Amino acid sequence: MSKKRSRGKRRQSSAGQKEDLSALAGRLSDYTAIQPSERLRIETEPTEYTGRVIDIITPIARGQRCLITSPPKAGKTMILQTIGKAIALNHPDIYQIALLIDERPEEATDFARNMPFDVVASTTDKPARNHIKAAEQVFTEAIKRMLRGEDVVILLDSITRLARAYNNFADSSGKTLSGGVTAGALDIPRQLFGAARNLEEGGSLTIVGTALIDTGSRMDEVIFQEFKGTGNMELVLNRELAVKRLWPAVDIANSGTRREADMLDELENERVPILRRKLSDMSPPDGLSWMLKRLKDTKTNAGFLRSVNA
């Protein structure tokens, strides 16, 4: 298993041995993908409410494809950092790496200084070719480790900007679709996101990626629709909640994990459906406010769930 990565280390994307990523990804068909079921706990401290909400509403397991859909200024970076820190704390056996694409340089520095593992960043001053090189470097390493039986997590910010990079680098002679997306330009980004899986033979790759919505860009909307439904966990952030300073700004009704019963314990399987029914009778702001208040009154999620009555 991997050793814990040093804090604050930020890698640029240009160096490294050239690998045939497509051939490596093609080997995945030789392995058996099974449903993710081994839980990654995001709950840490009693006052880390973001992690506690994620653990209840959108539980994560090894091998999942997690999509965080976020409008501008809704807290997606905070969500990613919370998940990364929790996994590093609760699951030190996991090799974890963050991939930042087309990010502002100061934001990349801040992210790296706050994460106890490596951050690979291709910043806004770099061309699309560099963004692609960064992504393929990270995914090559991650897939190789998974095939060796390791458990790997990639935090990807963002799928949208990665897809834009592939579109900018696509053959300009190809057919242009809605939003200025070139036909076939999103095939490789979809394959990269689809590489996340839990292998029966051992090893897993979990991807937690952000997708931008409500940006005013038709291209961003096309990219989002291309990836929507390809994950098995979706965490939806709500701009209205963020404006009201309700953090994490999670749209509870529209967020969830496929086959979550496979990874929940007995108490969670009993009480989470009750909680969702209760919250469905409230508006998103009222529901999140109610949940956060009850979380503050309890030290653990187990204690909170025991307090939830039908």
CATH number assigned to the domain comprising residue 269? 3.40.50.300
Neighbours of 172 (CB within 10 A): 8
CA distance linking residue 239 with residue 210, whole number of Å: 15
Q: Which domain holds residue 301?
A: 10-306
pTM of the shown model: 0.90
**Residue 34 DSSP class:** E
In a domain, 1, yes or no: no
Taking every pair of Cα atoms in the chain, the longest distance, rounded to a whole number of angstroms, is: 61
Q: pLDDT tens digits, residue range 293-310?
A: 999 999 999 999 999 986
In a domain, 239, yes or no: yes
pLDDT at 36: 95
Residue 6 has pLDDT above 70, yes or no: no
Which residues make Cβ contacts (< 8 Å) with residue 18, sequence separation at least 6? Answer: none
Q: What is the pLDDT of residues 147-165, one digit of tens each?
A: 999 999 999 998 999 999 9
**196 within 8 A of 206, measured Cβ to Cβ:** yes
User: In this structure, is residue 262 part of a structural domain?
Assistant: yes
Contacts of 239 (CB under 8 A, 6+ apart): 71, 72, 73, 74, 214, 249
Q: Using alpha carbons only, what angle is made at residue 147 by residues 146 and 149, rounded to the nearest 5 degrees?
A: 65
Give a yes or no: residue 2 inside a domain: no
In a domain, 3, yes or no: no
Q: How many domains does one find in the chain?
A: 1
In this structure, is residue 162 part of a structural domain?
Answer: yes
Q: Quick one: 13 exposed, middle or buried, by C-beta within 10 A (0-12, 13-18, 19+)? A: buried
What tens digit of pLDDT does each residue of 85-108 get?
Answer: 999 999 999 999 999 999 999 999
Rounded Cα distance, 211 and 225, in Å: 10
Rounded to whole angstroms, the Cα distance separating 57 from 268 reads 10
Residue 4 falls inside a structural domain: no
User: Residues near 20 by Cβ (< 8 Å), separated by ≥ 6?
Assistant: none
